[in-house]
Chains A and B, each alone.
Chain A
């Protein structure tokens, strides 16, 4: 399927829909159009298991009348259907109740220009299934061949996504942009004692094909990480320092994003609700949300309500500087938006992070592991986080550290601490920022955490 995402065409659709919505009686309207094109291949034990190719297009509409809101979603772009859809959406507003704060942004708030953030790889369209299969095969083969203890594989997946996004608002904005993204993940399996198997993975991702790691290197690293888990065991219940690898630290940072969201704050669903301007983390912690990084995975030239994207310092040396807000949550909290609205075709605007980054420290990660006894955490499992109270308890895998070295792999334990205490007791930040995804962290060390095991 050769149809390419076309940002200009999407913008025309968005503007067309906007005019139908106004004609149908909407006092305010916003239209988001997404046109995507995906290619995904999976290779397992050298054989192709899946080749998936598809183009997909949909539009999301938000309409307001008398401060009543309706949010609708359709994939039908025939002009007659679009017109009817606009009518029905405006009619739906009658079921909502008036909310004086429900309104589009003011005209002067809207973005005036759309920066080019270098998010589109011109070579992405020519990246085809054959090439994807070749890289996936290479990556998997490197893992399978590097050590005879690698006996099986969950496969290697290579994906390429190309998308166009356009947004038009009756508050005075219309714009669009394209983005591309490629990724390769390799997931080998090793046999362990007691019929257990150990799985691990490693991945590379970039907006540009040229930014991907070599497939073979990905496979070798995946195998190395999986082999290291052989002989994993539980440890006794204890209180020790814990070092979080960047991948595990990223999960913590993602949970922090949820409680600095203005939406969670006015909904009384964040333990940080009354804490702006106070210390919420160790002075070693500075967190920014920056949508304007060139070529970065979470970058966006404007936000989900058509406001200019801008960097926000969320936590500065441990002090909470601001909550991230879209227009509605900002009004609820009596302030201005931070340009942090996200928007999908299936729902209205909501607070979302862009590139949410915990800035790298100066400590080499090996130095963080210099503890007498401790836990090195490679990954977390489960949903044990209560944002209202900060209670935090997760399954964990990793390694036991004795006298500064990792001595054996650990699994089937939980680690628990109040989330507020976790951030305040960070006593080391690594210099190894992992920039592969839109939530980015270096290694972190927490001075003491409860480990539950045998």
Chain B
């Protein structure tokens, strides 16, 4: 339990401190006693705090504290899973045995001796922001609130939130791995509402990075900048027009447009869907799945990025994985079960929401690498189409590759120039078809520093997305204005 209100010295003892290799080896033995072929233990200690300011006042402060153990036992492709929040010896052993029930065999495997994995640290943070004084954080909220209100008299409502999290994980596997990581996360967000004679619009800005409070000293991340940006979007959208409906060229702005990659190809390349042959990328390795201009990587090693991980939740180091090279499919995102199936190396993509969930192949930071084109030339090349700047989310059907993503700030392009702002609109496309329609790729790659969260099978994990400016020759725009 955390006592953190003031200084670091008041942080309570780590409840995982008593978990050592002797405890782990005993539990792994217990988990495998019914005949499982492999077992792992996932210990998690998560502390978090959040502050919400509404109408210029700190409305509520919150604190979360979670500790638990998840035990997984594999036999073939089958998983037995159990978890507990209570780390007493008796309870942990009971959970290990429950997970082991998936297996029923006469021969049993003994766990290997554990040895520690030494990885890199892509998000060194000397101490959690949780240990910093609360009033410092309230001051940050106040700065963003004032900036948003001060931006324009038409801003009628502002909400600012700050959430901090410190997650420690310990992974022990029956094939002898011991891995640990400390994963900080600091999230800051502003929502502004603008009003003008009968019209109302909202705008958002924010960031989430694996950093401490030094985040606010980075370019673009002063609280005032997020306040003003949220207000700017709300005001800009007040006079937005209805968007056109139909198939047309779309220019994706740098950064957030990476959500298209995430939906159009990322999910389809998660190895579980390919192992089960339920992805439209099944059996496509080595084949052309996108325009030659497209090179896509998933990179867990970007410094301080929201999607980065030093080790995944199965104890494998996070790494940079090439998925598509010049349009040709090169590899999948693997977890342990799938890597074994494909006789592939682990890629460090076995992730889970918490100790209550089994790991699945998941993305980290998914990016389309930069190309040769000048971003201004890309816009100039479009006679009539849409420029997509900000997004609110997306969704894909893995089986057939159809995906949608929602634009929260976009503009009409007329004769190579951005003109009217457009009301919220969805784009819909099919993954491989849209990637073949990529005809220009800018040299202005950017990783979005926004708060992206990916959901799969009910589990949410933090991810990153990035792209340069990209031209898609044709995609369906779901506006209301028919030609």
Contact = CB atoms under 8 A, between A and B. Distances in A.
B392 interface: yes
Interface string B183-212: 000000000010100001110000000000
Contacts of B117: none
B271 interface: no
A199 B159 contact: no
B144 to A, nearest CB: 16
Given A50-B81, A53-B98, A237-B245, A382 B356 contact: no
Interface in B349-407: 356, 358, 392-395, 397, 399-406
A169 interface: no
Nearest to B77: A49
B78 interface: yes
Interface of A: 1, 44, 47-58, 69-76, 81, 84-85, 88-89, 91-97, 99, 102, 129, 152, 154, 189, 192, 195-199, 232, 234, 237-239, 267-269, 271, 346-348, 381-386, 388-389, 391, 393-395, 397, 411-418, 450-454
A239 B83 CA distance: 52
B400 A199 contact: yes
A384 B425 contact: yes
Given A199-B397, A412-B476, A1 B85 contact: no
Contacts of B156: 268
A413 B278 contact: no
29 contacts: A1-B95, A44-B276, A52-B79, A52-B80, A53-B81, A70-B62, A72-B65, A76-B1, A76-B85, A84-B3, A93-B61, A95-B135, A96-B61, A197-B279, A268-B156, A268-B195, A271-B200, A382-B426, A386-B408, A386-B423, A389-B200, A391-B423, A393-B479, A395-B402, A395-B404, A412-B476, A413-B476, A452-B247, A453-B247
A79 to B, nearest CB: 13
A189 B77 CA distance: 19
Interface size class of B (residues with CB under 8 A): 35 or more
Contact of A95 (B79, B138, B429): B138
Contact of A383 (B83, B399, B406): B406
A412 B426 contact: no
B135 A89 contact: no
Given A50-B79, A73-B64, 10 more contacts: A47-B77, A52-B358, A53-B81, A69-B60, A88-B1, A89-B63, A386-B423, A389-B423, A450-B479, A453-B246
B59 interface: yes
B246 A412 contact: no
A85 B157 contact: no
B113 interface: no
B193 to A, nearest CB: 5
A417 B480 contact: yes
**Most B C-beta atoms less than 10 A away, residue of A239, A393, A417, A453:** A393
Contacts of A51: 78-81, 101-102
B480 A88 contact: no
B31 to A, nearest CB: 13
